[in-house]
């Protein structure tokens, strides 16, 4: 179901239509607004369009870092699972490995 929500970024109002729940869309817009304002308050960038691009680059870097952290966590969990599997009773080992125990 598509939702329509109005958000404000740098004092400009935008109407968004998406599958995203309205509260989530508002949170995302607020985060973007804050990131742009932070870039602009640094004093190095005055134009809002340049600040928006720099904020987008920062947010994209955050996304890439979060993805890398997620991959590291998945690898650690997979390794831990491999180490723990031999310690389980045989029936549980098969279930953990994705194999249903034979009846």
Determine contact, residues 95/101, Cβ cutoff 8 Å: yes
- Identify any residues that bridge with 16 across adjacent strands, giving them in sequence order: 5
> What is the pLDDT, as a whole number, of residue 45?
80
Q: Cβ atoms within 10 A of the Cβ of 39, count?
A: 21
Residue 100 lies in a domain: no
Average pLDDT over residues 22-40: 97
Residue 21 in any domain: the answer is yes
Closest Cα partner for 36 from 15, 13, 59?
Answer: 59
Q: Round the average pLDDT of the chain to a whole number and report it.
A: 91
Provide the pLDDT confidence category of residue 97 given band limits of 50, 70 and 90: low
- Segments forming the whole domain that contains residue 25: 3-86
**Least confidently predicted of 13-17, 77-81, 92-96:** 92-96
Total domain count, the chain: 1
* Residue 26, domain member (yes or no): yes
Q: Please say whether the beta carbons of 7 and 29 come within 8 A.
A: yes
The mean pLDDT of 54-59, rounded to a whole number, is: 97
pLDDT of 103: 47
């Amino acid at each position: 179901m598509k939702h329509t929500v109005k958000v404000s970024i740098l004092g400009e109002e935008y109407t968004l239509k998406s599958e995203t729940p309205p509260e989530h869309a508002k949170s995302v817009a607020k985060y973007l607004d804050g990131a742009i304002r932070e870039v602009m308050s640094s004093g190095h960038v005055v134009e809002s369009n340049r600040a928006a691009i720099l904020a987008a680059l920062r947010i994209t870097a955050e996304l890439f870092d979060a993805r890398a952290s997620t991959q590291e966590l998945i690898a650690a969990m997979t390794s831990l699972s491999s180490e723990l599997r031999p310690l389980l009773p045989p029936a549980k080992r098969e279930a953990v490995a994705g194999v249903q125990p034979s009846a």
